[in-house]
Each structure stands twice: as structure tokens, then as C-alpha cells.
Chains A and B, each alone.
Chain A
Amino acid sequence: MLELIEQFNVLNAFWVTIKLAFFSAILALILGTIMAIFRLSPVGVLQRFGAAYVTIFRNTPLTLIILLCSLGLWGQLGFEPASRDSDTFIVDLNFRLAIIGLAVYHAAFVCEAIRSGVNTIPLGQAEASRSLGLGFLQGLREIILPQAFRGAITPLGNVLIALIKNTTVAVAIGVTEAAYALRNMMEFRPDVFLLNFLVIAIGFVILTLPTGLFISWASQKWVVRR
């Protein structure tokens, strides 16, 4: 088993998976929060913009989004988030395009998670903030969003776990993460097929199980007591 892990660089592959998940989670959180603010805002155009974003990206398969990042964003729009002089140009490029695809897709779910967090806040909180004379953005920053994030820990955590698992789709544009490693292992070591699967599958259990436990713990700890 150790020999297998060494031969196919499984640890490296999982390191790529972790990096993919980490960066796209941060980007998705930022983008999703912006979209949530748009959807809550008093401006009709922005509300519809946010709603359209969620509808479009939530209903498109992730595989397609990642392929379009490679073919459309880089191939056609000429967006090139890596330097051509670098030796690792293709690797960096695909890695970063995959991060963008993952972030754009999961931002739609983050937006919905935050909105469900806003729904846990009693009416009185917003009324109180308005009666104190806070404007929309002030109220959002000081009163609504802090409580919304705390109320949305569980749905946000579920998005994070889904994101960790969905990093495997990056294999569609050749990022050398865990699914890529499994493909190689199945191709070159078919004799130990079950072990191949278990090594990769247990890797994902190790990544997602503690995340899930942490989220249950965090949502208890930071719950807004009323």
C-alpha cells in the first residue's frame, strides 16, 4: 500500500486537491457573499443580477463550467492567469482555471446558504438597526451579516464538503489531483484495483469527515442564542 502511494504520488495528488479546495473556497465565499448582498439589496437590477447568477450557475453541470473555463475563458477570451515564461505554464494554467470554475459554481450555493442564514434572523434585528438610523450597508455589516454567517455555518459547511469532493472534476482539464491519480493507478496497476480505490476513497474520508465534525461543533459553538 505504501509502495502504491509512493509510486503514484498519491500524497502530492491530495495536496493538489487540498490547494484546489482551499483557494476556490475562499474565492467562492467572497463571490457568493457579494451575490447575496446583491440579492438582498434595495436595487431591483442588482437583485435580478444575483438571482440570474444563481439560476445559471447552479443549474449548469460543474464539468461543463470547468471545460468552459479552459476553452472559453482561456481559449477564447484570452484570460491567462499564468505566465508563459514559467516552466510549469500548462500545469499552473489548468490549476488556476479549475479554481475559477470551482469558485464560480460554488458561489451560487454560498449565496443561497447565506440567504438561508439571513432567514434565521428575527425581524426585530433589522427593524432595530433601522430605528437606530443605520443605512442598508451599515445595518448589513454590523447587524445582519454577522448573524447570518453564524446562522449559516451548517449550510456553508455542506457547501465546503461538496466543494472538496467536487475538486475531482478538475481532472476534466488535466489537473493532477486525486481523481487523476486514481485513473493512473487503475490503468497501470489493475492487479490491485480494490486497494487503488480504497487508498483514494479513504483519502477523501480523511478530508471530509473531520470537516463535517468541525462544522457540527462550530455551528453549536457559534449559534446565535435567542
Chain B
Amino acid sequence: MSAQQVLFDAPGPKAVARYRILAAAGIALLIGILGFIGFRMYQKGQLTAEKWSPFIDPNTWTNYYIPGFLDTIQAAAIAIVMSMIFGLMLAMGRMSDIKPVKWIFTAWVEFFRAVPVLIMMIFTFYYLSNSDWSPDNWNPFIGVIAGLVLYNSAVIGEIIRNGVQSLPNGQREAGLAVGLSPSKTRRLILVPQALTSMLPTLVSQVIVVLKDTALGYIILYPELLTRARQLGSAEANVLPAYIVAAVLFIVINYGLSRLAEYVENRQRAKNEGAAKKPNVNTAVPTEGGGATGQVPGTVG
């Protein structure tokens, strides 16, 4: 239902007046909240020039935010590529015709979707710190990657499997009919289509990964947030440093979510253009990230 047009009538003069009052109340509320925050920050001396002037100093950016940003992107990029590869493998394993293989992969996927990313990060980080098979300064990095990949490969595996299940049955039947084996049908016909139709969901999963790199703060990985804290203690402006980091995160993630929307719209247009062909389901779940039987989606 396109709610916006049908939930209320076209307003008459009385309703217009009422809406104006509500709009004014809304603006007053917003100004009230922002004003209160601003006022308290002013009272606490957070709005003084020396708290904010570090941000016009290029050294702040070259020493803290840019390296932090690069470390965030680096961890997110490696994690997403590895999660895609392992996710594909998990999806294939879970769709296998050999029962025991299927069971093992199902158990693996359900387990790692149910365990929080942070738990896996902390485990890997402390495990590596107590063993000596990796150089110590690599531990936070490996911890972040391990946590992200274990969780997101399971989620991406489920996204791909869902994509395969939402394909029209004729695709599989056609594959079998031309003499392909069931596993070849999956590999050559079903999974490639599932990947394209789930592309928007996969892009929104990138946002989840990017946000989750911030968990690296807790195991001291020098990503954006950790760098913001370092800047905050160097310049005694912790709060402004965090606020700037938040703005950076919002801008990047908002850009990515627009990209996901664009991909989705383009795909829908393409499907509608492809005339009478049975519609590949592009209805994409954008919330969630649960255990058992849920459609996987994207809550941080």
C-alpha cells in the first residue's frame, strides 16, 4: 500500500490549520532538542574555538581521520571479499544433495548467525594474543577480519540461498532437462541468477560490515573510531572528535544505501522491461539479521 496518499484525505481549511500547528510543534521540538544540546555543550565549554579548531588543521586529518578511514575501509573490503567467497561455499554446501554435508553446513551457518560478531572478535583477539603464531601488532586486525568473516559469510550464504529459492522452478527444471547434473544446474544456472537478483541486499550487507568494523574499537584496532579517541585525548576534545567521526560514518553509509537503492531500482526496471518473463523476485528484505528460518537482512 502506498500509504502516503491514502491514509488521510486531502486537507480542508480546518485540517490545513491543524497541520500548520503540528508542523510548528514539530519544528519547536527539533529546535528545542538541538538548542538544549547546543546550550549544554556551550555551558560545558565544548563549543569553544580550541575544541573545534583542530579540524581545520590538515594534520588532524592526515594523522588521525584519513589513516583511520583507510584502516576501516581496508578491514571492511577484505572482510566483504572473503565473506563473499566463503558465503558462496556455505550456500553451495547447504544446498548439497548429500545429506550429511548439508547438515554440517546448516549447523555451521545457523551457529555463526546466532553468535554476535563482537564475541568472535574478542575470542580471536585474545586467542591470538596468548599464542605466538601471529605478530602481536597484527592481532587486532586479524580479530576484526575473523569476526566479520565468520558472521557475514554465514549471512551472505543465506542471502544467496534465499535468492536461489526465489527463482522460478522452471530454471532448475530446464537445467536438468538439458542434461546438467543437479550440482552443475546450481552452479551454472541458479546461483548466478540469485547473485544478480540479490545484489541490492548484498550491497546493504556492505553497510553492515562497514558499521561493524567500528567494533574493532573494543579490541583496539586503529579504525576511525579508535583514531577519533586518540585525537580526542591528544587535543582534549573527545566529544567533537566523536561527532566528526559520526558524521563521516553517516555520509559514507548513506551514500552506500543510496547505491543499493539505485541498483534495486535499475533491476526492477530491467525486470519490468523484460516483458512477460516470470518475474525474478527482487523483493528484498532490508531489516533483520536473525537466527533460524528468518530471511537474513541487515541490522548492524
Contacts and interface: CB of A to CB of B under 8 A. Distances in A.
A55 B214 CA distance: 18
Contact of A64 (B122, B245, B285): B245
Contact of B288 (A77, A159, A183): A159
Contact of B7 (A78, A140, A165, A205): A140
B215 A43 contact: no
B241 to A, nearest CB: 10
Contacts of B40: 76-78
Nearest to B21: A43
B285 A155 contact: yes
Interface string A176-217: 001100110011001001001100110011001101110110
Per DSSP, are chain A's interface residues mostly helix, strand or loop, or mixed?
helix
A30 interface: no
Interface in A108-166: 109, 112-113, 115-116, 118-123, 125-127, 130, 135-136, 139-140, 144, 154-155, 157-163, 165-166
A215 B214 contact: no
Interface in B36-71: 36-37, 40-41, 44, 46
A134 B194 CA distance: 44
Interface stretch (B95-103, B174-182, B250-258, B267-275): B250-258
A60 B40 CA distance: 23
A144 B115 CA distance: 35
Interface in B91-136: 110-111, 114-119, 122-123, 126-127, 130
B287 A201 contact: no
Interface string B1-28: 1111011110100010001001100110
B126 to A, nearest CB: 3
A179 B218 CA distance: 10
Q: Determine which residue in B130, B288, B300 has the highest number of CB atoms from chain A within 10 A of its CB, and name it.
A: B300
B289 interface: yes
B294 A215 contact: yes
Which of the four size classes fits the interface of chain A? Answer: 35 or more
B122 A183 contact: yes
Nearest to B29: A49
Nearest to A186: B126
Contact of A56 (B41, B110, B119, B250): B250
Interface of B: 1-4, 6-9, 11, 15, 19, 22-23, 26-27, 29-30, 36-37, 40-41, 44, 46, 110-111, 114-119, 122-123, 126-127, 130, 207, 211-215, 217-218, 225, 238-239, 242-243, 245-246, 249-250, 253-254, 257, 285-295, 297, 299-300
